[in-house]
């Protein structure tokens, strides 16, 4: 009988875009979109449209056509466009790609049936594709609504003492802890796995049990890996594409994510696949 035939159906695993992927998209879009005028917004998915407008207000209260795009930035895992109008308060358009979302400019990298929103600009079209429809696009009136509770791992805020104080109270496994967005923002399954491997901390260790030395290694690995991944335009495991429809290349530099059953690149021991909070 097929006991212990733990076939790793690797082809099916998917991950959402994490910090490096979203940063890549934002950096690419910024010079392209800045200064362009928004002419028309079309939602092809009514669910997306329902959650777009500020709660309790009518869409008519927010005439977007004619506004111009200012800043384009990444905040947490979101791409945020500033929509400006002379003499008026700016609005912010925040796109969360979640699992399979793609934000592309003037290219159509996949089936039109997965096109969920279309932003017509005076210099082209900004398209939002999303197979699984987990993605979210929201219009915000206040920048404060977009400031994440977790800290940006690449900012100066992430010091070892700060990280230590955040970790201290938690008895969660460190891997689960890293996936939370209310402590550090931007990490997901791929980078949390790679970071823990790089700093040699077992994913099941209790977050609060890390030594000072381990916390310093964790901080160092987090920043190094995120920076390296950004310089490779992120990781394309299956779905992710950048704003031009291209794949990232950091998947070629992964050590553990999606590699259950393969030999370790450091010591050749077979890597064991582990499931924590529903993630492999």
Partner DNA sequence: ATTATATCCTGATCGC
Partner DNA sequence: TGCGATCAGGATATAA
| Distance in Å, CB of 92 to DNA, minimum | 15
Nearer to DNA, 96 or 219 (CB): 96
Residue from the set 73, 160, 176, 246 that interacts with DNA by CB under 7 A: 176
Nearer to DNA, 178 or 199 (CB): 178
| Distance in Å, CB of 94 to DNA, minimum | 10
Active site residue 112: no
**String of DSSP letters for 149-163:** SSBPTTSTT--HHHH
Which of 97, 138, 105 lies closest to 15 in space, CA to CA? 97
Assess contact for 20 and 107: CB atoms under 8 A.
no
Which of 48, 89, 94 lies closest to 67 in space, CA to CA? 89
Assess contact for 18 and 187: CB atoms under 8 A.
yes
Active site residue 17: yes
Query: Considering 74, 77, 175, 259, which one is annotated as catalytic?
Result: 77
Assess contact for 107 and 246: CB atoms under 8 A.
no
Q: Which stretch binds DNA (CB under 7 A): 30-38, 130-138, 151-159, 210-218?
A: 130-138
Paired tokens of 9: 């159906």
| Distance in Å, CB of 3 to DNA, minimum | 13
Q: How many CB atoms lie under 10 A from the CB of residue 38? A: 22
Residue 3 within binding range of DNA, rule CB under 7 A: no
- How far, in whole angstroms, is CA 269 from its chain's centroid? 31
Site for DNA in 68-97 (CB under 7 A): 77, 96
Residue 266 within binding range of DNA, rule CB under 7 A: no
Query: x/- string (CB under 7 A) for DNA, residues 223-252?
Result: ------------------------------
Residue from the set 67, 74, 102, 114 that interacts with DNA by CB under 7 A: 114
Query: Considering 118, 220, 223, 279, which one is annotated as catalytic?
Result: 279
Give the DSSP H/E element, type plus range, for residue 124.
strand 124-130
DSSP symbol at 173:
B
Active site residue 148: no
Residue from the set 13, 36, 71, 82 that interacts with DNA by CB under 7 A: 13
Paired tokens of 208: 């609060």
Which of 42, 39, 40, 25 lies closest to 117 in space, CA to CA? 42
Active site residue 18: yes
Residue 273 within binding range of DNA, rule CB under 7 A: no
Q: What is the largest CA-CA distance in the chain?
A: 73
| Distance in Å, CB of 11 to DNA, minimum | 5
Find tokens 């159906």 and name the residue: 9
* Contact residues: DNA, CB under 7 A: 7, 9, 11-16, 47, 77, 96, 98-99, 113-114, 131-134, 169-172, 176, 179, 181, 188-189, 277-280
Residues marked as catalytic: 17-18, 77, 279
């Amino acid at each position: 009988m097929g006991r212990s035939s733990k076939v790793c159906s690797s082809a099916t695993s998917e991950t959402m875009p994490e910090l490096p992927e979203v940063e890549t998209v934002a950096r690419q879009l910024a010079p392209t979109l800045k200064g362009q005028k928004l002419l028309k917004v079309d939602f092809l998915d009514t669910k997306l449209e329902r959650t777009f407008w500020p709660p309790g207000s009518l869409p008519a209260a927010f005439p977007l056509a004619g506004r111009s795009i200012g800043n384009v930035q990444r905040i947490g895992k979101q791409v945020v466009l500033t929509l400006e109008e002379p003499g008026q308060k700016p609005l912010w358009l925040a796109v969360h790609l979640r699992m399979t979302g793609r934000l592309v400019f003037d290219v159509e990298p996949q089936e039109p049936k997965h096109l969920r929103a279309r932003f017509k600009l005076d210099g082209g079209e900004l398209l939002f594709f999303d197979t699984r429809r987990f993605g979210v696009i929201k219009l915000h009136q206040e920048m404060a609504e977009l400031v994440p509770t977790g800290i940006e791992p690449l900012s100066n805020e992430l010091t070892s003492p700060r990280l230590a104080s955040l970790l201290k109270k938690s008895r969660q496994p460190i891997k689960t802890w890293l996936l939370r967005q209310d402590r550090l923002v931007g990490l997901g399954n791929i980078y949390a796995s790679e970071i823990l491997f790089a700093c040699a901390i077992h994913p099941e260790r209790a977050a609060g049990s890390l030594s000072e030395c381990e916390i310093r290694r964790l901080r160092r690995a987090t920043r190094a890996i995120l920076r390296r991944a950004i310089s490779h335009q992120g990781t394309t495991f299956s779905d992710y594409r950048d704003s031009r429809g291209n794949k990232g290349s950091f998947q070629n530099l992964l050590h553990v994510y999606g590699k259950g059953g393969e030999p370790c690149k450091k010591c050749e021991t077979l890597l064991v696949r582990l499931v924590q909070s529903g993630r492999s």
